[in-house]
Structure 1
């Protein structure tokens, strides 16, 4: 349920180390550790692992409670001996469905502790191994984790951007599938709302980490600055996408309204044309004599009047683009 990696001078020297005795191992100069706890076990044995890690590394009980309960808002809490972060990694399916994974992170001077619910940490470990950063600093491990998380935020925003652009093409089709359009618009708006809730707090998290002494030194500062830049980019991107989705919805409603007005205009025009012969036949249907009563020419005259007036109305409406 837990994986402990020990690094010395920036190189991985041991893996699957038991938590017992970890504090003594970290006393050696140039040694840091990464304790990764999978919180998905149904029998709660991972809670015991978390408590053992807390006792071994001196983690605050409130932070341990937050990590055990899960479903925290994205945040950074600064304690006297360590920091606690709650961040969310995201992944976006091809249909626009967003999946989030909560990561609880403890940052101590000599160890990084991550707690998650079935999240695959392999890419993060690979990024640590391939990192150009070296040294006996927990900040190197934290950089790899946050860099991976924020890159996922940017990728999700890029995917949403592409899906919204594809949806724009559907809006302007001559005969759009309205049900599909509404269904996809609602799904994208829901995914965007979830993405904004995990992306926007990252700016405060990165700002809070800059207040931690000895965590980000001069060598790490440009790399953490790059993450802050990506966070700002992701935040601005999600904000613009929200405006984009809102404008897309308003455009859809405007187009629907225009089409409805066009239909009503045509129906009204045809009703006006039909009203003329209806009025003539209704008038001549009275029990009073009319020109040509009982004569063949009277029938043809009334019929001609209806045809001529109907044709004249049609031409007039057509010229005014009412039909």
Structure 2
């Protein structure tokens, strides 16, 4: 009787580019990898330490690579070992404004994907929901004729989905920066909210830059390795296009970094300009009020006024002072002068 496969484990088997088996037990993986015409994929979503250890032992993965999978923070990289190649890449997405931000106030969602590349298969390990595995499988199914070229085709489909996700994230941050630019010169915009959003986008862009820029070296290393082994040239065009996308994502990220820095500096300059304008207005009104105050104070004028010498006069003058001060406070508060 065939053992049941857990929901968080996915397996596929191709022969000559055709899908022949799916969701078979992990115990059969090593057997399928011995088949010259087989192509194997194993995906572990939030695996337990026992499951990860069993797969690593069965497929003879390097202990250092397994440690990188369970480590809390690893940079984007690719490392070649004697029996396999290991790489760490990151799938990204941007949460909607309606969705809650993370503990650091960022909308950026980053999912680490650990990939073991063996001669006839691919093993992926990821946590969370950031990687759209369904989209990866659709890419493979839509280009099933490429799968006869082996592991390189599987790896290309995975990297292509990750890079496309990074492109969508960069586009989202680009739109956010455009909104910040529109709010810079909007007199009705709330300054504090604008500053908070600018800082958040700047932090999200720094986080994204850390995982996007190293992808250039990862894809370049894969292409060099294929060239050294003399693999089929039919995939060269696909990898060249993928590398072009990575370059565009890198350049776009760098340009957004310059843009958000410009927005940040422009916001500070506009704040200084607005502060100078407020000070000029307040200084002008203070000068206008100072003239009659100086004259009456110099001559010590103390003329009778309505209610002079009566409690009603004291109360009315107090009410006028309080009302005038309150009105000025409201006006200044509405203009963000206070």
Aligned to 2:37: 30
Gaps of 5+ in 1: 287-323
SS of residue paired to 2:113? strand
Distance 2:230 2:293 in 1: 88
SS of residue paired to 1:210? helix
Per the TM alignment, residue 70 of structure 1 is displaced from its structure 2 partner at its CA by: 4.6
Distance 1:136 1:270 in 2: 80
The match for 2:266 among 248, 251, 259 is 251
> Can you list the C-alpha shifts for 1:64-84, whole angstroms capped at 9, x where unaligned?
121133532111111122110
Aligned to 1:300: none
Aligned to 1:114: 124
Aligned to 2:86: 84
Aligned to 1:143: 156
**Which has the greater radius of gyration?**
1
Aligned to 1:125: 137
The match for 1:184 among 150, 173, 197 is 197
1:70–1:256 Cα change, 3 Å: closer
The match for 1:230 among 240, 245, 252 is 245
> Can you list the C-alpha shifts for 1:252-303, whole angstroms capped at 9, x where unaligned?
11111111111111222222233333444444449xxxxxxxxxxxxxxxxx
Distance 1:38 1:94 in 2: 24
Distance 1:197 1:216 in 2: 31
The match for 2:172 among 159, 162, 176 is 159
1:216–1:197 Cα change, 3 Å: farther
**What TM-score comes out, normalization by structure 2 length?**
0.78
Q: Please tell me whether residue 105 in structure 1 is matched to residue 115 in structure 2.
A: yes
8 A Cα contact 2:45 2:125, kept in partner: yes
SS of residue paired to 1:211? helix
8 A Cα contact 1:106 1:114, kept in partner: yes
Distance 1:200 1:166 in 2: 25
Q: Please tell me whether residue 267 in structure 1 is matched to residue 282 in structure 2.
A: yes
Q: Please tell me whether residue 20 in structure 1 is matched to residue 27 in structure 2.
A: yes
> Can you list the C-alpha shifts for 1:134-191, whole angstroms capped at 9, x where unaligned?
3141010000000000000111001110111012111211221112212211221121
SS of residue paired to 2:148? coil
Aligned to 1:307: none
Aligned to 1:209: 222
Per the TM alignment, residue 23 of structure 1 is displaced from its structure 2 partner at its CA by: 2.8
Per the TM alignment, residue 57 of structure 1 is displaced from its structure 2 partner at its CA by: 2.2
The match for 2:208 among 178, 184, 195 is 195
8 A Cα contact 1:19 1:56, kept in partner: no
Aligned to 1:289: none
**What TM-score comes out, normalization by structure 1 length?**
0.81
Per the TM alignment, residue 216 of structure 1 is displaced from its structure 2 partner at its CA by: 5.2
SS of residue paired to 1:226? helix
1:242–1:225 Cα change, 3 Å: same
SS of residue paired to 2:109? strand
> Can you list the C-alpha shifts for 1:91-122, whole angstroms capped at 9, x where unaligned?
11233711111100001111100001134411
8 A Cα contact 1:139 1:215, kept in partner: no
Q: Please tell me whether residue 69 in structure 1 is matched to residue 71 in structure 2.
A: yes
Q: CA RMSD in A?
A: 2.0
